[in-house]
């Protein structure tokens, strides 16, 4: 038997190498998600929804039922599937442009209604697929395609703190966390707890993952890690923000 790579069981091997750029953080987030699905043993019940943006490159990433929707609309589409089939484990996967700008209303209202689904959002500080324009999450003074002199917070505001916003509008039964691709094991644990919150029917769950976009950042490997671990992590605090399990303990 020929030797096989150590991919999560839920990954669809014949679609690998996957479609993301070299060094893209999406691959690491989906590795954490794949391991979480494997460890929870839920592959046959998962429905995976991906957004427009680079997240859509994952439409055939897993060996699960999948749907790709319009920009920012993944959350309501997955809400519909969950309401029609409550026995399914519904995962909405999107970028920061989809979740915090174009689809922010959908995220806010699904969270406020405490929909029993899991939203995973890749925060890479820009609009990746369209060429690196400023996103709500671009850091102050960060150079992007549309802010060549750096993002001026006086003109375009300060970066959106997504998990903090979701935590503020959800009930105590919601799970909310921010992980990072610089710590895949921790990110996997956050995603597992988010999925468990849905499996138990407890409430909404949301995990933002700090992610790399070396193509649009124009960074080599060293600078990619540095941007994630220093620049982004200084502004976006990694950790669990809301955990119903902790309340009960």
Partner 1 sequence: MTTSAYKMKEVDTKKALFTIFTGICKGCGLCMEKCPAKTLVWSKTLGVYGTPAVEPKDAEGCTGCGMCATVCPDCAILIERKK
Ligand X SMILES: Cc1ncc(C[n+]2csc(CCOP(=O)(O)OP(=O)(O)O)c2C)c(N)n1
Q: State the binding partner of 135 from partner 1, ligand X, ligand SF4, none, CB within 5 to 8 A by kind.
A: ligand X
Among 8, 10, 11, 24, indicate the residue that binds ligand SF4 (CB under 6 A). Answer: 24
Residue 84 Cβ vs ligand SF4, minimum distance, rounded to whole Å: 31
Cα dihedral 242, 33, 111, 54 in deg (nearest 10): 130
Q: State the binding partner of 55 from ligand SF4, ligand X, partner 1, none, CB within 5 to 8 A by kind.
A: ligand X
Assess 98 for contact with ligand SF4 (CB under 6 A): no
SS (H, E, C) the chain: CCCCCCCCCCECHHHCCCCCCCCCHHHHHHHHHHHHHHHHCCHHHEEEEECCCHHHHHCCCECCEEEECCCCCHHHHHHHHHHHCCCCEEEEEEEHHHHHHHCHHHHHHHHHCCCCCEEEEEECCEECCCCCEECCCCCCCCCECCECCCCCHHHHCCCCCHHHHHHHHCCCCCEEEEEECCCHHHHHHHHHHHHHHHHCCCCCEEEEEECCCHHHHCCCHHHHHHHHHHHHHHHCCCEEEECHHHHHC
Q: State the binding partner of 143 from partner 1, ligand X, ligand SF4, none, CB within 5 to 8 A by kind.
A: none
Residue 95 Cβ vs ligand SF4, minimum distance, rounded to whole Å: 7
Cβ-based nearer residue to ligand X, 53 or 162: 53
Assess 78 for contact with ligand X (CB under 6 A): no
Q: State the binding partner of 215 from ligand SF4, ligand X, partner 1, none, CB within 5 to 8 A by kind.
A: ligand SF4
Among 40, 108, 184, 199, indicate the residue that binds partner 1 (CB under 8 A). Answer: 184
Cβ-based nearer residue to partner 1, 13 or 172: 13
- Segment near ligand SF4 (CB under 6 A), from 19-27, 44-52, 142-150, 222-230? 19-27
Print the binding letters for residues 154-183 with partner 1: x by CB under 8 A, - otherwise: ---------------------------x--
Among 10, 58, 68, 124, indicate the residue that binds ligand X (CB under 6 A). Answer: 124
Positive/negative CA dihedral, 162, 165, 170, 174: positive
Residue 229 Cβ vs partner 1, minimum distance, rounded to whole Å: 11
């Amino acid at each position: 038997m020929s030797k096989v790579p150590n991919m999560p069981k839920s990954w669809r091997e014949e679609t690998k190498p996957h479609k993301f750029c070299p060094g893209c953080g999406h691959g690491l987030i989906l590795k954490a998600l794949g391991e979480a699905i494997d460890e929870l043993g839920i592959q046959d019940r998962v429905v995976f929804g991906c957004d427009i943006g680079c997240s859509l490159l994952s439409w055939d990433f897993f060996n699960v039922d999948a749907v790709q929707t319009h920009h920012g609309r993944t959350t309501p589409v997955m809400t519909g599937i969950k309401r029609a089939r409550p026995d399914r484990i519904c995962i909405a996967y999107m970028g920061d442009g989809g979740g915090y700008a174009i689809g922010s209303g959908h995220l806010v209202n699904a969270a406020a209604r405490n929909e029993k689904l899991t939203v995973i959002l890749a925060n890479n500080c820009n609009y990746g697929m369209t060429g690196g324009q400023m996103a709500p999450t671009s850091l102050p003074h960060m150079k992007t395609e549309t802010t060549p002199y750096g993002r001026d917070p006086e003109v375009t505001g300060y970066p959106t703190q997504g998990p903090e916003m979701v935590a503020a509008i959800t009930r105590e039964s919601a799970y909310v966390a921010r992980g990072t691709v610089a710590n895949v094991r921790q990110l996997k644990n956050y995603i597992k707890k988010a999925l468990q919150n849905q499996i138990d029917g407890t409430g909404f769950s949301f995990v933002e993952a700090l992610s790399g976009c070396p193509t649009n950042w124009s960074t080599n490997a060293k600078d990619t890690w540095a941007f994630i671990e220093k620049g982004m992590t200084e502004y976006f605090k990694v950790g669990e923000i809301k955990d119903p399990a902790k309340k009960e303990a």
